[in-house]
Chains A and B, each alone.
Chain A
């Protein structure tokens, strides 16, 4: 069994400020880790993923995330946000044998001018 906890349901931040969206997971098996972004009235799209290797992964739109195995975390960061980053962000885990992904409940990032 696996689970995902996104620690903040809402994160308001001013434009050009840094942001961190937190994600913790639990799993009894090896997992792949993902962050997806959902813009209004659109489907979820992949932001970045961790499969193996370097624990720091870079994604689209300047986002990056760091896998921390000891803390079972996969926090998402961006050094300077834009208004266009306003969206809902979902952390997800999938066991390495494929099959279903488990999602967190999402974090709504609101970037204010």
Chain B
């Protein structure tokens, strides 16, 4: 697609429920990143993929959070047994990774706002 697409844009759920957030990156972009942004703060790194391989998941807060990108395109961030502290904007970004020419520039989607009641 023309830009990074995220769905749903808004999700309200009850504590204890599982949620899945979807990201469709820019066509041809190899790298895909997930960030979480709390109100009044900058995006905080969660995890990223090159193609289908998860390269770094050091930012995932605990084992309730997981992400996958099985075919190297669309990615899903899953939060199990949600808690109120999980409420935030979840942002996806994609980037061209071409080895030495990688510039690190990120193209962001509009985000998925999660509210856990």
What residues make up the interface of A, taking CB atoms closer than 8 Å to B?
4, 6, 9, 32, 34, 36, 41-46, 49, 51, 90, 92, 94, 96, 98-106
Contact = CB atoms under 8 A, between A and B. Distances in A.
B110 A41 contact: yes
B91 A44 contact: yes
Nearest to A51: B103
Contacts, number: 66
Interface string B4-41: 10000000000000000000000000010101000011
B55 A99 contact: yes
Contacts of A103: 35, 42-44
B61 to A, nearest CB: 15
Interface of B: 4, 31, 33, 35, 40-45, 48, 55-56, 59, 91, 93, 95, 97, 102-111
Contacts of A101: 33, 45, 104, 106
B42 to A, nearest CB: 3
Q: Which 3 A-B pairs have the closest CB atoms?
A: A103-B42, A94-B104, A43-B108
Contact of A43 (B4, B40, B41, B59): B4
Contacts of B93: 44
22 contacts: A4-B42, A34-B106, A36-B106, A43-B4, A43-B108, A43-B110, A44-B93, A44-B106, A96-B104, A98-B102, A98-B104, A99-B48, A99-B56, A100-B48, A101-B33, A101-B45, A103-B35, A103-B42, A103-B44, A105-B41, A106-B41, A106-B42
Contact of A90 (B4, B43, B102): B43
A3 to B, nearest CB: 11
Given A90-B42, A99-B55, A103-B43, A32 B103 contact: yes
Contact of B43 (A42, A44, A51): A44
B48 A45 contact: no
A45 B56 contact: no
A72 B18 CA distance: 42
A49 B105 contact: yes
A1 B38 CA distance: 21
